[in-house]
Amino acid sequence: MRRVKLTLAYDGTAYLGFQVQPNGPTIQSVTEAALGRVLQESVKLRGAGRTDAGVHAREQVADFADSGVRPLETILRGGNALLPPDIRILSAEEVPPSFDARRHASGKEYRYFLYLDPVASPFFFRHAWHIEKPLDRAAVREGLDHLVGEHDFTSFRGQGCTAKTTVRTIFRAEWGELSPALHYISITGGGFLRHMVRNLVGTLVDIGKGKYPPERVRELFSLRDRSEAGPTAPARGLFLWKIAYRIHA
């Protein structure tokens, strides 16, 4: 048996998330079907991150085991030939049998895109949250600074989260500007709770609107109450941007 590491990119607009669901298409189910046709054997993917419905990925990592009969180039070319254009296999490489895309990830970066302009863009409406009124970017940056470190993120945990602990470590939290209107919030950490990034972004946008001071982020760590934090930002603006690995196994 051979273990293969895939790097995937996808537009999640038309999918019910990464993980297989009984009631509609997902990134995992569509990719497994395409690879099964290419390899002529059953394929079961293990994803590094379970992106939700409507969330995108610039770099998702998954792994699977196969018989090793066909070359890796066949997986790359054949898979992309059969996949819809909103899912791409960026690379396929053989890794040690013990490699696990989720367990061996040392960090993940998420980027959330914001379109700040009175008029929505027809080009970014699927991939950014349109906000009509200006934000106090200095206040948002200050709020981001409070995220760095180890904290209890109970106030930012989504409904249905089954994580054993709500303590997570954030390595970096930054604001980026791509154009006068297009901006992003980048959050890198060792792991994330369900809807955590979107709930953080919703709170940070409220801070940018002046509803709360930047110190509200620290208060929410102590309050441990989801109802005290801001709204959940729309899925469409969120990208799984990068996954880091120290070693393959």
pLDDT digits (tens, 9 = 90+) for 7-26: 999 999 999 999 999 999 99
Bridge partners (DSSP) listed for residue 6:
62, 92
Q: How much is the pLDDT for 161? A: 86
Cα–Cα nearest to 230, from 247, 249, 211, 248: 211
Bridge partners (DSSP) listed for residue 5:
63, 93
Q: Is residue 133 predicted with pLDDT exceeding 80?
A: yes
| 52 catalytic residue (yes or no) | yes
Q: Which domains does the chain have, with CATH numbers?
A: 2-103 (3.30.70.580), 107-244 (3.30.70.660)
* Structural Rg of the chain based on CA atoms: 19
Give the position of tokens 């470190």: 149
Give the position of tokens 């009984």: 22
> Active-site residue among 11, 52, 63, 66?
52
CA distance readout (Å), 165 to 73, 151, 161, 169: 41, 11, 10, 12
Render pLDDT for 137-179 as a digit per residue (tens, 0 to 9).
999 999 999 999 999 999 999 988 888 899 999 999 999 999 9
Question: Among the listed ranges 45-49, 162-166, 187-191, which one has the minimum average pLDDT value?
Answer: 162-166
Report the chain's mean pLDDT, rounded to a whole number.
96
